[in-house]
Amino acid sequence: MRGISYALFSVAAWSTNYLVGRFLVAGGVDPVAMSILRFAIATPLLFLMARFPPYRGAARRLALLGLLGVAGFNLLLYSSLAYVTAAVASLFVVLASPTTQLLEAALARRRPGGVALLGSLAAVAGAYLTLEPYLAVRSYLGPLLAALATLSWAVYTVLVRGIYRLYSPIEAMAWISLFGLAAMSPTAAASKPATLAHPLVIALVAYVAAVPGALAYAAWNVAVQKAGPRRSAAVLPLMPVLTTLLSYLLLGEALTATQLIGIAVAVAGVYISARG
C-alpha cells in the first residue's frame, strides 16, 4: 500500500503539470526550452534530496533510462502540445497503464493478469469519457508524438527497477535526471530560451521542476521499487480525473454527466487493476 501511495502522489503532482504545461505552451513558451530548464533545476534538487550519492557504475543503463524517462518522454510530450490539447496528451499517457502491464509480462515471459488488464482498460475508458469534451487534434503529428512519449514512459517504468541493485530509488533518479539532461542538451540549439524570459514563466517552470519534477519523479521510482511497475502504472488513469477536478475547482470549468460517469469508471478500473 505504501508503494501505491507514492504513485498516487506522483500522479497528483503530474496532474498539476498538465495545467501548467497547457498554460505555458498556449502562451507561446517553447516546449524544448521549458524541458531543458525544468530538468536543469530538478537535477540539483534530486542530488540534494539523495545527499549527493556517489557514482557506482552502470552508465549505459542510466543513460538509457535518462533518455527514456527524462529526455524522450518530456520532449515528446511537451512537443505534442503544439498539435493537440493537453487532454489528448493526457489520454495517451493514461495508455501507459495497460502498455506497462503488457511489456512487463512480455519481458517476464508470462501472460498478463486478466483481471488487472481488464481493470486497466476500464480505467482508460473512464479517462476517455472524462476528457472527451476537451479532445481536439490539429495535426496527426500530435498523437504520434504523444504515443511515442507513452511508449517511452512505459519502457522506462519496466526497466528502472533493475538499477536498484546499485542505487536507491532517489539516488537512481538523481543520476537518471543528470543523464537525461545531458541527452536533452543537443536540442538546446533549436530551442527558443527567450520565450522563458518572464517572471511568471520562470516561477511556473520552477514549480514543475520541483514538484512534478524532482519530488514526483523520486516518488515514482520509490513506488516502482515497492509496488512494482504494473501496480504503479495502474494509477496513471487517475491523472486526467485529477486534472479535470482541479480545472473544475480552480478554473470553474463545468462538469458534465458523462464526465462524472467517466470519473467513476476510471476510479473503479484503477482499484481493480491495482488489486488484480
Cell of 12: 497528483
Residues of the chain with pLDDT under 70: 250-253, 276
pLDDT score for 206: 95
pTM of this structure: 0.90
pLDDT score for 90: 80
Q: Is the dihedral of CA 108, 1, 71, 144 positive or negative?
A: positive
Answer whether 231's CB lies under 8 Å from 101's CB.
no
Domain ranges of the chain: 2-275
Q: How far apart are CA 67 and CA 76, in angstroms?
A: 11
pLDDT tens per residue, range 12-28: 998 888 778 778 877 88
pLDDT score for 78: 79
